[in-house]
Chains A and B, each alone.
Chain A
Amino acid sequence: MRTKKGAVFLLLLLVCMTVTGCNFKDIDRRIFVVAIGIDPGKVEGTFKVSLKLAIPQGDVTKIDEKMQILTEESESISEALRRMKSKVEKELDYVHCKSLILGEQIAAKDIRHVTDWAVRRRDIQLILNFAVGRPGALEVLQVKPPSERIPSNSLILAMSGQGTESPFISSVYSYQLMRSIYENGIDPILPIIEAQGEEQFLIDKIALLDKKKIKLVLTPDETRLFNLLSRSNLRTNFPAHLGGGMYQYYTESSSSSYRIVTQQEDNPYIRYNIKIRAILEENSTEDMVTHHMLKEIGESGAAELSKAVTALLIKIRDSGMDPMGWGLHYGARHWNNDTEMAVWESLYPRLKFQVKADVDVKYSGMIK
């Protein structure tokens, strides 16, 4: 009785093994795609797809970066990827792909096709970083900084904030892009990566899109202010001018919040509240910093900051886009669901901004 049961069980196990065994490929038969770049092809309406491949290596301490870039043009992304399978001897594996670079020309036309593809593919993560590549996606993929040891790692570290914590970089995951493409009352943004030669890239701008294509590119300074408004604890420095001197303060912690005030029909405005705790980092004068001066630096810094932020907000409003999601914020606080978006559309061009910055410079640094 017992042996019979055991035999049945064993047989079942054996059957399972033969079924699963045939399709599995070991790691030495796979090659990992770490970044995908998509540019328009030579012929109108085609794509030029580039893949950056990482070649698995054994010993981590003696790693010498090995990578390969494949390029293929086709009228669809999937077709290009299938064709590339014939160019390598191993199976292409997308599970570890961390970034997707859209060529600037694609982003200037329509990003929705590529976004749909990246979200639909089951083996591509939803925490994939999207970015616009300048001048093209292939050029960005080809950049190989000397500090890089694992292929495409510099891009991954920079975009994810695990490495550098630059205040100019904002990362956009594919689920966020997908969300803001379809959501009413928020428009997508994408960071721009510029290739500067073979060994360096620069990520310090963001592009504002109108659900479909790039409409406006923010300057690095505006990008930093945008990041200050859209996330908390941005680590950066801001200037403050006092008398004839220039001071720079480092933001130890920052937070921002806003309220859309529409009580008066003819005078809708958004009130932004920015709170910063700061440390003095640079002083262009020879004066010793007193308690009184610290307060004054904070006040003049706050005034400069609120002026700059107001200018940015007006620029965003005049572009007609809504990268901050004010429309969604408005809709989320109004119960007239059928009409709220129409009301918002009519309010939006007339919006005014009140920016209240509160800069509290706590320390003068190591010296007075």
Chain B
Amino acid sequence: MAKSRYFYCLFLMNTLINIINFAPRELIDARFDGAQSSILVAVATGTLFIYLFTKVINKFPGQGLPEIFGSALPKLLAAPLIFVYAVLWYMAGALILLSFVDITLRFISPDTGPYAILFGFLAVVCLCSRIDSLSLLYGLEVTLGITLPLILYTTVKAIINPDFSWDAVLQVMTHSLHAPDMNSIAAATFTFSGYINLAVFNRVFHGLKLKHIWILSLEGFLVLAICFFVPIGYHGTVGIERHVYTWFTTADSIRIEAFLIERMLYIFYFAYITLSLVSAIIQWHVGKELLLSLLPSTAKKPKKKLRQEIVILVLFAAGALALMRMDQYDLNMLGVFLLHIRWYGELLLILLLFWCYWIVRRRRA
């Protein structure tokens, strides 16, 4: 049984991971047309989603999505739903991996082949996503313990740099009076969607007690503000649109004067590769568990379970390899598409859970 603080770890992981790719890009694209108000809307809806989801999932202590759907919904409805959600989770993990292959190629090792890097990542992620849920949470906590100080260091160092252009940040602030923009909301709410992993991880939480939900919204808001404004301070209100990986170029623009390494990029990369691999592991773990629940039961047959897991993970890896064919712009389009789908998926999931709760309670009464 896991303590409630692991829920905060899951949440924190997701807020931090969204800095690397799609969220800052979508927000920055809309910096003159409503990204700022979208951030506020996202903080409100994100917090509301967390509140509703944790409320309803608490009614099913120790049960994951498959068990809840299995007990409340007809099989014909439950199975396709779980399959769709499994694909969503799988895609989220795969996109993180693909983005990181791209980032590694660009910033760290231009000479290495992309498939070599992907094979390395896949080996780690596939092997680790077989670990049981509770151990994954412990691992996540340790990883956060290592990477969080590095990320904080990067952020503080970025903001206290005298060459940081506060005027550019204020200039973008004066463009705040716009209606929110749908793409930006979808990107910004992703910051808050760490809670959704409870769909499987709820199996190890028995009676989740959430105190101070406002801390989550405050943290999410701060991360969003930093992830949106800091790159603008470094690359200007107009120049920023020319950068692909805004946060990695920002880290590359920070110099550490008194240290062994001069470029902040390496520290930032180390922190984020660790975090994104763990994040991909967790996403694929959830995806794998959801798919396993659709296959014939394997209770007390570890060999059969292993075979099923291998088939699923090989399919996952093959899918990631197939997705490697996309170029930078395709990848971005798929990412934005997924951000939208995921948001509607979350909304649907919360509604479904409330419906399940209603069915179960009526049956009991």
A contact residues vs B (CB 8 Å cutoff)? 9, 12-13, 15-16, 19-20, 23-25, 122-123, 125-127, 160, 162, 173, 175-176, 178-186, 231-232, 325, 328-329, 331-335, 337
Contact = CB atoms under 8 A, between A and B. Distances in A.
A127 B116 contact: no
Report, nearest first, the 6 A-B pairs whose CB atoms are least far apart.
A332-B170, A179-B236, A182-B239, A19-B116, A183-B236, A332-B171
Given A182-B242, A231-B162, A328-B171, A122 B236 contact: no
A20 B115 CA distance: 9
Nearest to B106: A122
Interface in B95-129: 106-107, 110-113, 115-116, 119-120, 123, 127
Nearest to B176: A335
A82 B166 CA distance: 40
A351 B262 CA distance: 42
B236 A333 contact: no
A176 B254 CA distance: 11
Given A16-B119, A127-B252, A331-B171, 16 more contacts: A16-B123, A20-B113, A23-B113, A125-B263, A126-B249, A127-B262, A127-B263, A175-B249, A176-B163, A179-B165, A183-B168, A183-B238, A332-B166, A332-B170, A337-B32, A337-B175
A16 B263 CA distance: 28
Contact of A331 (B174, B253, B263): B174
B237 interface: yes
Contacts of B32: 337
Nearest to A181: B239
A123 B107 CA distance: 7
A23 B174 contact: no
A182 B165 CA distance: 14
Contacts of B167: 186, 325, 328-329, 331-332
Contacts of B177: 335
Given A23-B112, A332-B168, A12 B252 contact: no
Contacts of B174: 331-335, 337
A179 B239 contact: yes
B127 A179 contact: no
Contacts of B173: 332
B327 interface: no
Given A125-B252, A126-B252, A173-B253, A25 B111 contact: yes
A16 B113 CA distance: 11
Contacts of B106: 122
Contact of A183 (B163, B237, B263): B237
A228 to B, nearest CB: 14
B235 interface: yes
Interface of B: 32, 106-107, 110-113, 115-116, 119-120, 123, 127, 162-163, 165-171, 173-175, 177, 234-239, 242, 249, 252-255, 257, 262-263
Contacts of B257: 162
A268 B168 CA distance: 22
Contacts of B168: 179, 183, 328, 332
A260 B163 CA distance: 21
Nearest to B172: A332
A16 B127 CA distance: 14
A162 B238 CA distance: 31
B238 to A, nearest CB: 4
Contacts of A180: 236
Given A15-B119, A125-B252, A182 B170 contact: no
A23 B32 CA distance: 44
A24 B111 contact: yes
10 contacts: A16-B119, A19-B113, A23-B113, A122-B107, A126-B253, A160-B255, A162-B257, A173-B163, A332-B170, A335-B177
Contacts of B237: 183-184, 328
Contacts of A329: 167
Contact of B234 (A175, A182, A186): A175
A103 to B, nearest CB: 24
Contacts of B239: 178-179, 181-183
B38 to A, nearest CB: 17
Given A231-B162, A333-B170, A337-B175, A182 B236 contact: yes
Contacts of B107: 122
A15 B170 CA distance: 52
Contacts of B113: 19-20, 23
A195 B247 CA distance: 37
Q: Most chain-B Cβ atoms within 10 A of its Cβ — which of A20, A126, A178?
A: A126
A182 B238 contact: yes
Given A23-B111, A333-B170, A127 B123 contact: no
Contacts of B116: 16, 19-20, 23
Q: Most chain-B Cβ atoms within 10 A of its Cβ — which of A160, A173, A175, A328?
A: A175
B12 to A, nearest CB: 28
Contacts of A184: 237-238
B66 to A, nearest CB: 26
A333 B257 CA distance: 33
B129 to A, nearest CB: 15
A348 to B, nearest CB: 16
A334 B175 CA distance: 10
Given A332-B170, A335-B174, A175 B253 contact: yes
A189 to B, nearest CB: 13
A73 B111 CA distance: 26
B112 A20 contact: yes
